Structure 1
Amino acid sequence: MSDDTNIEKAIEQVNGVLAGNPRAPHVKAFFHEPTFTATYVVSDDQTKRAAIIDSVWDFDQPSGRTSLEAADEIIDYVREAGLTVDWILETHAHADHLSAAPYLQEKLGGEMAIGRDIVTVQGVFGKVFNEGTEFERDGSQFDRLLEDGDELMIGDIPLIALHVPGHTPADIAYIVGDAAFIGDTMFMPDYGSARADFPGGNARNLYRSVRRLMRLPDKTRVFLCHDYKAPNRTEFVWETTMLAQRTANVHLHEDVDEDEFVDMRTQRDATLEMPRLILPAIQVNMRGGHLPPPEDDGTSYLKMPVNKL
């Protein structure tokens, strides 16, 4: 199925919700300020089925200690709301926080899913961290690998997966009813776009992915993975509309052409420091949220490659 067919299918779905069929999903956001990450519980109010998107496992880098406060908050909400979790979804292998997906799956059930191109990320970072042959680079750490256009259900509400590479090669956006969960493709309109200089990232691909998403109807609810508060804004915000993105995104509004964006993004990325948690986060997230296997003393260790990134 072509890219055009899949985005047209998503457009039709959003328009259907706006017209009253199917119904819109309920979205509950949890903002994790230490990593500036928004996690979402997306549910069908009638069937009480749900999905969790982009969860966070707390990690204190100086001490190497983990905690589960952010994940437990989600578990409490799901149980109090009487929801059944069918899916635990990742938009990509995050470089700025560790995923709590396995812990959530243990406590709440559901299948873990990510884009099929996670295998590309595993191949690249398997070399960066000099992982041995015991590290599987086939995405088998996840229950399902999603292709562009794949369809899932959250109760009676359809979900369409769209492959939107650029920030990483594996990024997936989830269109659930009239709501688009777009990962790190875009931030709030006053903040702009995600970087594209990680291994496998590509600013030109990011531009094209965003333009594809911007074909969604104006009233599409757009939910972001992060917010960092733009200059002169005092509050964190993680929800906007596609109309606002199309007309007002400071990096990607409709009057910005591809070459202009690529030049801006390339120059901007060259000035950015690496994310604070990229080394531990990628080692965990490319394993589906699991730590590396314990060594002979029973402890898991995270590597710190020197002068490699």
Structure 2
Amino acid sequence: MATEPEIHSYFDAGTSTWQYIVADRETRDAVIIDPVLNFDPVTAGVSTTSADELLAHIAQSGYNVQRILETHAHADHLTAAGYLQRELLNRSGSRPPVCIGKRISEVQSTFAGRYGIDAQELTGAFDKLLEDDERFSLGNLSCTVIPLPGHTPDHVGYIIGGNAFTGDSIFNPYLGTARADFPGGSASSLYRSVKTLLSLPPDYRLYVGHDYPPDGKQGPVAFTTVAEQNSTNKHIKHDTTEEEFTKLRRDRDSALSEPKLLHQALQVNIRGGRMPERSQAGYRFLQIPLRLPLSLQ
């Protein structure tokens, strides 16, 4: 029996996001992790180029998609989960559930009020809310949901074989870790979450949610091992204390600007990838807050 999955990594250059297809080699059952819709902030145009790449690979490989897994409500890209679910239903007759950690309700409550989203639009946004440490099968493989709060309160990761899909918790060693200053975020929680990942066996692979290669470095990298992270991560190593980490994280976060697609992404992602309801005139709108000088306030 195969114990390791087949992993396909797709990098969306526009948002520097890693997307994953993970499959059981024997049964061809598969999951999709953190898929991306393409969005042009200048024209407010949405397209499906990245998601269609995933669909083409799935069809070519003969995969049966069992679930679409989100690590959290992303603030830097729009999720393609809803689009992929509809396309897979149309193409194969199967409708894989869109899954996310159970604390998504906290995030939905926070941002529904901020953006004026009616609660009815969030009803059934996700098909399955995952419990901490929940296990489910992927063909002959076992998958475990690991809670990784800190970047956001709803954040989870997925362990499949000797691989952990970490979302926006730990990044590649030259980047360090994710920010923890979003509503409900916590540097202390992030520290404990990253320590959970670093306590996995040293040869486990940690597949990250993003990569931002520095100038002169060869291309984006999807994973490093636990051993590599423990010895070389720029923010946290095996002997880093919580006090050291939280101070570093708070100082760094205070100097960061907000993600470019923050408002667009959150409004779509707390809906599970569904677009806003149409207005009476037939248009769909996203709320974008203005930043006004004192003279105009």
TM range (shorter): over 0.9
Which residues in structure 2 correspond to 1:55-74 (within 5 Å)? Answer: 55-74=35-54
Aligned counterparts of 2:142 and 2:229: Cα–Cα separation in 1: 23
Q: In the TM superposition, what whole-angstrom CA distance separates every residue of 1:240-269 from its partner, at most 9, and x where no partner exists? A: 111111121110111211011100100100
Aligned with 2:79: secondary structure? coil
* Alignment-derived partner of residue 90 in structure 1: 70
1:161 aligns with one of 114, 134, 145: 145
* Alignment-derived partner of residue 120 in structure 1: 106
* Alignment-derived partner of residue 190 in structure 1: 174
Runs of 5+ consecutive residues of structure 1 not aligned to the other structure: 1-20
Q: In the TM superposition, what whole-angstrom CA distance separates every residue of 1:249-291 from its partner, at most 9, and x where no partner exists? A: 1101112110111001001001100000010000000000111
Aligned counterparts of 1:22 and 1:151: Cα–Cα separation in 2: 18
The residue identity in structure 2 corresponding to 1:296 is: Q
* Alignment-derived partner of residue 217 in structure 2: 233
Q: In the TM superposition, what whole-angstrom CA distance separates every residue of 1:142-184 from its partner, at most 9, and x where no partner exists? A: 1100011111111110100011100000001100111100000
* Alignment-derived partner of residue 277 in structure 2: 293
Aligned with 1:134: secondary structure? helix
Aligned counterparts of 2:215 and 2:227: Cα–Cα separation in 1: 22
Q: 1:73 to 1:278 in 2, by over 3 A?
A: same
Aligned counterparts of 1:230 and 1:217: Cα–Cα separation in 2: 28
2:131 aligns with one of 127, 135, 147: 147
Contact 1:128-1:305 within 8 A present in 2 as well: no
Contact 2:278-2:284 within 8 A present in 1 as well: yes
Which residues in structure 2 correspond to 1:1-309 (within 5 Å)? Answer: 23-108=3-88, 109-136=95-122, 140-230=124-214, 232-307=216-291
Runs of 5+ consecutive residues of structure 2 not aligned to the other structure: 89-94, 293-297
Further displaced range: 225-234 or 284-293: 225-234
Deviation of 1:231 (Å): 5.5
Further displaced range: 225-234 or 271-280: 225-234
Aligned with 2:244: secondary structure? helix
Aligned counterparts of 1:118 and 1:55: Cα–Cα separation in 2: 17
Aligned counterparts of 1:56 and 1:118: Cα–Cα separation in 2: 18
CA RMSD between the two structures: 1.4
Aligned counterparts of 1:230 and 1:174: Cα–Cα separation in 2: 27
Q: TM-score, normalised by structure 2?
A: 0.93
* Percentage identity across paired residues of the two chains: 40
Q: 1:55 to 1:133 in 2, by over 3 A?
A: closer
Aligned with 1:57: secondary structure? strand
The number of aligned residues is 286
Contact 1:178-1:220 within 8 A present in 2 as well: yes
Deviation of 1:133 (Å): 4.0
Contact 2:102-2:131 within 8 A present in 1 as well: yes
The residue identity in structure 2 corresponding to 1:91 is: T
Deviation of 1:209 (Å): 0.7
* Alignment-derived partner of residue 12 in structure 1: none
